Amino acid sequence: MMGYDENNIFAKILRKEVPCETVYEDEKILAFRDIQPCAPVHVLVIPKEAYISFQDFSTRASPEDIVHYFKTVSRIACDLKLSDKGFRLVANTGSESGNMVPHFHTHIIGGKQLGDISGA
Ligand code: AMP
């Protein structure tokens, strides 16, 4: 895809050039533990196709793939036993968000009482 950096760290993880701790995988999606967890559970869920950002994914991916992605995020949160006590989803988008890796991903964060996000 034009503009997609094939050398971003998640592209390398998808090509198995860099290891990760996989928690879920299917033909469209990979989920793995964040290398610098900010909570006891911190998992990143990525589509295997090359989407730069949430905006890119939500405009270019097929409706089926978008539905499959978000249903899978929900299933992973459930499998991680986060459903009862709750969790946070984060998709940093663009420079003001602090987004570092230019491959669309959603953070699933939980396993403790999370702080207030105002001003975060
Ligand atoms: P952001 O782009 O700001 O939404 O965050 C990217 C996230 O990727 C950060 O939380 C990093 O800790 C995480 N990260 C960076 N490199 C790796 C890696 N090799 N394995 C797992 N997580 C990573």
pLDDT given for residue 120 in this prediction: 57
Closest CA to 51 of 83, 18, 6: 6
42 as an active site residue: the answer is no
84 CA to middle of ligand 1, Å?
Answer: 26
Task: Tally the residues of the chain.
Answer: 120
Q: Are 100 and 34 in contact (CB under 8 A)?
A: no
Q: Which amino acid is at 93?
A: T
59 CA to middle of ligand 1, Å?
Answer: 23
Q: Is the CB of 63 under 6 A from ligand 1?
A: no
* CA–CA dist 10, 17 (Å, integer): 10
Atom of ligand 1 nearest to the CA of 91: 4
Ligand 1 atom 5: the closest Cα is on which residue?
Answer: 100
User: Is the pLDDT reported for residue 25 higher than 80?
Assistant: yes
pLDDT per residue over 66-99, tens digit each? 999 999 999 999 999 999 999 999 999 999 999 9
pTM: 0.97
Atom of ligand 1 nearest to the CA of 32: 21
What value does the mean pLDDT take over residues 51-70? 98
